Amino acid sequence: MASARQDPLWLEVTRRIQTMMQEAAMVPSDRLPTETELVARFGVNRHTVRRAFKHLEEKGKIEARQGRGRFVRMPAIQYQIGARPRFSNILADQDLEPSAELLGIGVETAPEAIARALSLRTGSKVVHVERMGLASGNPVSLSSHYLPLGRFPRFIEYYERHHSITRTLQDCGVEDYVRRSTRVTSRLPTSRERSILGVPKHVPLIVTRSCNVDPRGWPIEYGEALMASDRIELEITSPLRSG
Amino acid sequence: MASARQDPLWLEVTRRIQTMMQEAAMVPSDRLPTETELVARFGVNRHTVRRAFKHLEEKGKIEARQGRGRFVRMPAIQYQIGARPRFSNILADQDLEPSAELLGIGVETAPEAIARALSLRTGSKVVHVERMGLASGNPVSLSSHYLPLGRFPRFIEYYERHHSITRTLQDCGVEDYVRRSTRVTSRLPTSRERSILGVPKHVPLIVTRSCNVDPRGWPIEYGEALMASDRIELEITSPLRSG
DNA sequence: GATAATTTGTGCGTATGTATG
DNA sequence: CCATACATACGCACAAATTAT
Interface test with B, best of A238, A240, A241 (most B CBs within 10 A): A238
Q: Is the pLDDT of residue B240 over 60?
A: no
Q: Tell me the residue type at A130.
A: E
Q: Is B140 helix (H, G, I), strand (E, B) or coil?
A: strand
Tell me how crowded residue A60 is: count the other CB atoms within 10 A of its CB.
Answer: 11
Considering only residues A220 and B90, tell me which one the structure prediction assigns the higher pLDDT: A220
**Length A172 CA → C19 C1' (Å):** 56
Report the pLDDT averaged over residues A217-224.
93
B180: left (phi over 0), alpha (psi -120 to 50) or beta: alpha
Nucleotide C16 C1' to residue B173 CA (A): 49
Please state, in angstroms and rounded to a whole number, the distance separating the CA atoms of residues B220 and B66: 51
**Per mean pLDDT, which range of A149-163, A181-195, A228-242, B92-106 is the poorest?**
A228-242
Confidence (pLDDT) at A18: 87
- Interchain contact, B184 vs A241, CB within 8 Å: no
Q: Residue A147: is its pLDDT beyond 90?
A: yes
- Quickly state the pLDDT bin for B4 (edges 50, 70, 90): very low
In this predicted structure, what is the pLDDT of residue B85? 72
Q: A89 vs B137, which has greater pLDDT?
A: B137
- What confidence score (pLDDT) does residue B107 get? 97
Cβ contact B167 with chain C strand, < 7 A: no
pTM of the complete model: 0.86
Average pLDDT, chain B: 90
The reply to whether B154 has its C-beta less than 7 Å from any atom of strand D is no
Question: Hey, what amino acid is at A84?
Answer: R
Task: Convert the pLDDT of each residue in A107-128 to its tens digit.
Answer: 998 887 888 888 887 778 899 9
Give chain D positions with protein CB within 7 A: 7-12, 16-19
Which residues on chain A are in Cβ contact (under 8 Å) with B180?
237-238
Q: What's the pLDDT score for residue A240? A: 47
pLDDT of residue A65: 84
* Cβ separation B184–A238 shorter than 8 A: no
B232 pLDDT above the threshold of 80: yes
The model's confidence at residue A5, banded by pLDDT at 50, 70 and 90, is low
User: Quick check: B56 CB within 7 A of strand C?
Assistant: no
Question: Across the interface, which of B74, B180, B237 has its CB nearest the CB of A181?
Answer: B237
Q: Which of A119-123, B16-20, B188-192 has the lowest mean pLDDT?
A: A119-123
Which of B82, B206, B242 lies closest to A184 in CB terms?
Answer: B206
Pair B163, B145: CB distance under 8 Å:
no
Mean pLDDT of B213-241: 88
A197-213 residue pLDDT tens = 999 999 999 999 999 99
Asked if strand C contacts B121 at the CB level, meaning under 7 A, the answer is no
For residue B104, is pLDDT > 80? yes
pLDDT value, residue A212: 93
Contact between residue A225 and residue A85 where contact means Cβ atoms under 8 Å apart: no
Residue spans of beta strands (DSSP E) within A110-218: 125-135, 138-148, 178-187, 205-213
Contacts of B238 in chain A (CB under 8 A): 82-83, 178-182
Angle among Cα B31, B35, B38 to the nearest 5 degrees reads 90
Straight-line distance from the first to the last Cα atom of chain A, in angstroms, rounded to the nearest whole number: 45
In this predicted structure, what is the pLDDT of residue A239? 59
If one counts every other C-beta atom within 10 angstroms of the C-beta of residue A188, the result is: 18
Question: B5 - beta bridge partners?
Answer: none
CB of B6 lies under 7 Å from some atom of strand D: no
In this model, does residue A243 exceed pLDDT 60?
no
